[in-house]
Amino acid sequence: MGAWLGAARAPWKRYGLALLLTAAAYALQVLIWEHLPPSPYLLFYPAVFVSAWWLGRRPALAAIALSSVAIVYGFLEPHGSFQIPPIADAVDLTLYALVSGVATLALDRLRESLRTEREARRNAEAANRAKDEILAIVSHDLRNPLSAIALTAQSLARDPEARVAHEAAARIDRAVGHATELVNDILAFARVDSGELEFDIGSHPVSKLIEEAHESASARADARDIQLVATPVDATVQCDPERLQQILSNLIANALKFTPAGGTVTLRAERLGDRIGFEVRDTGPGIAPELRDKIFDRYFTADRSRGAGLGLHIARMLVHAQQGEIGVDSEPGKGSTFWFTLPATPTQCARPSQAAAAAIVDEPSTAGGWPHRLAAR
């Protein structure tokens, strides 16, 4: 049965199977005609109903048309002829076609309703699984920073020395920051995924956006003994500034997580014709080639202890929602470069000259990034 239904997926095969069912009903009725009640429609009804249920409305209507011709030819007076039957037989034939047609439409609607219900059930089950998964991640990832807060608070209560208090306060601040970041990621993901997040797109100076992102992340970089470098550009970009800050914050936070103490995270922007390119480059361990295609997937993380795997996924959703592109270039041992592009302000959409483009493409880059994408245009 599975192979039979699989073969019926192609439209011409569905019609062929419907006609085959009709032919089988005709042959069987011819064989047992003498033993049947005086009704030439008895075996054609099941053929039509099976066609309607398994093959669809149109193949079933084709079966009704073919069976009506077969009934006129083989079972109505005069037999073996396509002449118009007597009025009584013609009325019966018309009723057969009407009843079969109505039943076909009803079965088709029922089949479609059941299909929609099954799809809705699958979607609901998938949503429940996703909810359970994210709740499990949240409960696991929130437990660690909250436990750190509790233990540090106990240390403060037992040891009044100022030095210990300052160290403990710093640990509390880091733990609370991690918990806050996780909660913000969850809320942002829920709003974007449900389509409830609104965007206020406008023209904004890139230099100011880069400066704000640098200022927001400087304290975290200093706490990890990582140098955070910003290189803005004199241009304007079409974006929602709040969402852009969230994108940059997520990319910078990811870079800081995987950059060792003494390393460098570079935030820069560049005009690329009708786009503005943003880049966050780190000096961390890099990403293995087999993980690169998964890095933006929901809940994916190479190290569960460093996050819930939502930050990069949210960044991709926010970039795509603003008509942008996002990607990553990385080599193990040489760091990673996360990049994304957004539309430039229309007045600045002229493509750069060949010399300018060559200057951008030839700029040294250990991890590739959007400068190399410009060369491919």
The predicted-structure confidence for 302-314, as pLDDT tens digits, reads as follows 554 455 567 888 8
Q: Is 360 within 8 Å of 354 (Cβ atoms)?
A: no
- One domain, residues 230 and 324: yes
- Please check whether residues 104 and 231 belong to one and the same domain: no
Residue 366 is assigned to a structural domain of this protein: yes
Are 113 and 210 contained in the same domain?
A: no
Q: What is the pLDDT of residue 363?
A: 37
CA distances from residue 81 to 85, 162, 273 in whole angstroms, order as listed: 9, 109, 76
Whether the link from the prior residue into 86 is cis, omega within 30° of 0, is no
Reported as a pLDDT band with limits 50, 70 and 90, residue 350 is very low
Q: Among 92, 121, 150, where does a domain finish?
A: 121
Residues 252 and 361 in one domain: yes
100 falls within a domain: yes
Q: Exposure string (b/e) for 162-179, b if CB count within 10 Å is 16 or more?
A: eeeeeebeebbebbeebb
pTM: 0.52
**Where among 96, 121, 146 does a domain terminate?**
121
The radius of gyration of the chain's CA atoms, rounded to the nearest angstrom, is 34
**227: which 2 tokens?**
């140098």
Domain boundary (121, 146, 164) is at 121
Residue 371 domain-assigned? yes
d(CA 247, CA 7): 47
**Quick one: 100 and 208 in the same domain?**
no
In this prediction, residue 361 has a pLDDT band, given cuts at 50, 70 and 90, of very low
Q: Predicted confidence band at 69 (pLDDT cuts at 50, 70, 90)?
A: confident
174 part of a folded domain: no
Return the H-helix or E-strand segment holding 215. Answer: helix 206-223
Q: Give the number of domains in the chain.
A: 2
357 domain-assigned: yes
As a whole number of angstroms, the distance between CA 118 and CA 80 comes to: 47
Give a yes or no: residue 128 inside a domain.
Answer: no
157 — pLDDT class (breaks 50, 70, 90): low
Lookup: tokens for 17: 């199977």
Same domain, 243 and 337: yes
Tokens 């991640």 correspond to: 137
The DSSP 8-state label assigned to residue 234 in this structure reads S
Query: Which region among 74-78, 250-254, 365-369 has the lowest average model confidence (pLDDT)?
Result: 365-369
Question: Which are the contacts of 45, defined by CB distance < 8 A and separation ≥ 6?
Answer: 96, 100
CA dist 356 and 350 (Å) reads: 12
CATH number where 229 lies: 3.30.565.10
365 lies in the same domain as 225: yes
Q: pLDDT band for 36, please (50, 70, 90 cuts).
A: low
Range of the domain at 266: 202-375
